[in-house]
């Protein structure tokens, strides 16, 4: 019976067929061992001359790393092997043997070499584990929001105007209509959709032409953006907190072996099931200044500040109430303190930085228009967006969760480039 490697423990003492790629081989007396990977898991294969034809026995020695093969054998209990089982092989069919040695070996390679070979690097155990966890994070987000009655919808990638500010837009010519931009965020369209459908979310690529060369920045990343009519900032904080807990719980429950492959300290992930820490921007300034920084109201919190905050707390930290002048035009001013907005950033523990950013939206047309002007943005392209305030404007809120940053934190990955199949960064567009 054809079987996926991950299912082998359910077929003890049965004869099965598995298909996959050769890992490493070793000899021990008259026995030969080999690992086989099929995408679902890795299994140890045991070859002995008694079980195979002479031809098959001879062809074993020709197998190189990443040769593709079809194997049949009997599943045996072997607590010392990965997955707790091994396969005693009784037939070996070779599909293809590489002509050259596989470039990504088990020894250490530099990041540049690995990124150039990203199309092959994704086959390695840790990279595949990260990509499976990435899938689980997406599933967790969808299952959580779907359960709560959100509608998944789509917003355009080609857009006529900026959403987050004009400094980091990718521009491209669009027929006779002039320049258009790759979307930085689907939010403005998300707001229109929330007025049509109530509670919505989108899951799209977002593009930022930032010249940031850090372990947290991609020029193309995936963002999940919920937008909710009638939600205020506090309801949104509650929603984000339950969502993040659900994501982490689902990864702990269903990705145990992948987290193990990544040597992730899962106790750090379990800690976040406690209530999240909340501090205002002003409290964050005092907290940071007590620790040797010299920040004034209006200063941006830099990456090092976020790391310091994140490393000093076991749970994620919400920072709310940033200065209005530093924040996007659509964020609602706080009636009790108009110098700040009703926003939130969520800082992951262990120094992984900001994973979520969002706010309550300004629902008053006149305030919105003057905020847009303060930001030096033209009014005309936003006329359609103003309509949302002209026709039945209601309080509403939303946020964006960066998929790769969330995955990097859950996996404990050193760099965001490992958390997307084919990363796009300042100096990297290949493969």
Q: Which residues bind ligand 4AD (CB under 6 A)?
A: 163-164, 185, 187, 208, 210, 217-218, 221, 223, 225, 354-358, 398-400, 402, 404-405
Binding residues for Mg ion, rule CB under 5 A, total 1
CA-derived radius of gyration, the chain: 26
**Distance between CA atoms of residues 102 and 120, nearest Å:** 9
Nearer to ligand 4AD, 355 or 372 (CB): 355
> What stretches of 68-168 adopt beta strand conformation (E)?
68-77, 85-96, 151-152, 158-159
By C-alpha distance, which of 23, 19, 1 is closest to 10? 1
Supply the minimum distance, in Å, between the C-beta of residue 281 and ligand 4AD: 14
| Shortest Å, Cβ 208 to Mg ion | 10
The structure tokens listed for 265 are 């300290």
Q: Which stretch binds Mg ion (CB under 5 A): 84-92, 125-133, 168-176, 351-359?
A: 351-359
Using the contact rule CB under 5 A, the part of the chain among 208-216, 222-230, 350-358, 407-415 near Mg ion is 350-358
Q: Which does 32 bind (CB under 5 to 8 A by kind): ligand 4AD, Mg ion, none?
A: none
How many other C-beta atoms can be found within 10 angstroms of the C-beta atom of residue 256? 11
Q: What does the alpha-carbon distance between residue 381 and residue 319 come to, in Å, rounded to a whole number?
A: 31
b vs e for 306-325, b when ≥16 Cβ sit within 10 Å of the residue's Cβ?
bbbbbeebebbbbbbbbebe
Q: Does 353 bind Mg ion (CB under 5 A)?
A: no
Tally of CB atoms within 10 A around 207: 21
71-100 binders of Mg ion (CB under 5 A): none
Residue 404 interacts with, from Mg ion, ligand 4AD, none (CB under 5-8 Å by kind) = ligand 4AD
Euclidean distance between CA atoms 417 and 56, whole angstroms: 41
With beta carbons less than 8 A apart as the criterion, state whether 33 and 73 touch: no
- Selection from Mg ion, ligand 4AD, none that 356 binds (CB < 5 to 8 A by kind) is ligand 4AD
Q: Closest distance between ligand 4AD and the C-beta of residue 64, in Å?
A: 37
Stretch that binds Mg ion, among 1-9, 151-159, 352-360, 416-424 (CB under 5 A): 352-360
Residue least distant from ligand 4AD (Cβ): 402
Shortest separation between residue 8's beta carbon and ligand 4AD, angstroms:
37
Q: Are 411 and 262 in contact (CB under 8 A)?
A: yes
Q: Which does 316 bind (CB under 5 to 8 A by kind): Mg ion, ligand 4AD, none?
A: none
Name the residue number minimizing CB distance to Mg ion: 357
Name residues whose C-beta falls within 8 Å of residue 36's C-beta, 6 or more positions apart in sequence.
5, 18, 20, 21, 22, 23, 42, 43, 44, 45, 69, 71, 87
DSSP state for residue 421 in the 8-state scheme: S
The residues in 356-415 that bind Mg ion, with binding defined as CB under 5 A, are 357
Q: Minimum Å distance from CB 420 to ligand 4AD? A: 9
In the bound state with ligand 4AD, the residue whose beta carbon lies nearer, of 350 and 354, is 354
For residue 222, the minimal CB distance to ligand 4AD (Å) is: 8
Tally of CA atoms within 13 A in the half-sphere of 265 that contains its CB? 7
On the question of a cis peptide bond just before residue 73, with omega within 30 degrees of 0, the verdict is no
Q: Phi and psi (nearest 5°) for 13?
A: 70, 5
Find the shortest distance in angstroms from Cβ 57 to Mg ion.
60
Nearest distance from residue 357's CB to Mg ion, in Å? 3
- The residues that touch Mg ion, with contacts defined as CB under 5 A, are 357
């Amino acid at each position: 019976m054809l079987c996926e490697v991950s299912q082998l423990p359910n077929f003890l003492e049965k004869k099965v067929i598995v298909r996959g790629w050769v890992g490493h081989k070793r000899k021990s007396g008259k026995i030969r061992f080999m690992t086989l990977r099929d995408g679902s898991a890795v299994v140890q294969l045991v070859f002995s001359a008694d079980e195979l034809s002479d031809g098959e026995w001879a062809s074993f020695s020709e197998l190189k790393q990443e040769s593709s093969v079809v194997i049949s054998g009997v599943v045996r209990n072997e607590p010392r092997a990965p997955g707790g089982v091994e396969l005693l092989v009784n037939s070996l069919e070779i599909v293809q043997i590489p002509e050259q040695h596989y470039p990504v070996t088990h020894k250490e390679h530099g990041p540049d070499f690995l990124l150039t070979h990203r199309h092959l690097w994704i086959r390695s155990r840790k990279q595949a584990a990260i990509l499976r966890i990435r899938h689980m994070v997406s599933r967790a987000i969808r299952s959580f929001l779907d359960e709560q009655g959100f509608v998944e919808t789509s917003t355009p990638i080609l857009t006529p105007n900026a959403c987050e500010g004009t400094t980091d837009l990718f521009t491209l010519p669009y027929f006779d209509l002039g320049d258009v931009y790759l979307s930085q965020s689907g939010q403005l369209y998300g707001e229109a959709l929330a007025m049509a459908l109530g509670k919505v979310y989108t899951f799209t690529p977002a593009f930022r032409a930032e010249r940031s060369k850090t372990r947290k920045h991609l020029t193309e990343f995936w963002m999940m953006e919920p937008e909710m009519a009638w939600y205020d900032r506090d309801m949104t904080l509650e929603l984000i907190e339950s969502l993040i807990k659900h994501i982490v719980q689902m990864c702990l429950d269903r990705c145990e072996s992948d987290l193990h492959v990544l040597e992730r300290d899962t106790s750090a992930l379990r800690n976040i099931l406690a209530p999240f820490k909340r501090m205002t921007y002003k409290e964050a300034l005092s907290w940071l200044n007590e620790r040797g920084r010299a920040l004034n109201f209006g200063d941006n919190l830099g990456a090092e500040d976020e790391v310091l905050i994140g490393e000093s707390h076991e749970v994620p930290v919400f920072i709310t109430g940033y200065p209005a002048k530093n924040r996007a035009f659509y964020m609602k001013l706080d009636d009790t303190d108009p110098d700040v907005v009703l926003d939130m950033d969520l800082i992951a523990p262990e120094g992984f930085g900001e994973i979520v950013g969002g706010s309550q939206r300004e629902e008053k047309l006149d305030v919105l228009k003057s905020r847009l002007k303060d930001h030096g943005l033209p009014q005309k392209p936003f006329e359609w967006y103003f309509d949302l305030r002209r026709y039945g404007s209601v309080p509403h809120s939303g946020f964006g969760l960066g998929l790769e940053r969330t995955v990097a934190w859950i996996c404990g990955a050193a760099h965001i480039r490992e958390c997307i199949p084919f990363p796009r960064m300042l100096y990297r567009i290949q493969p």
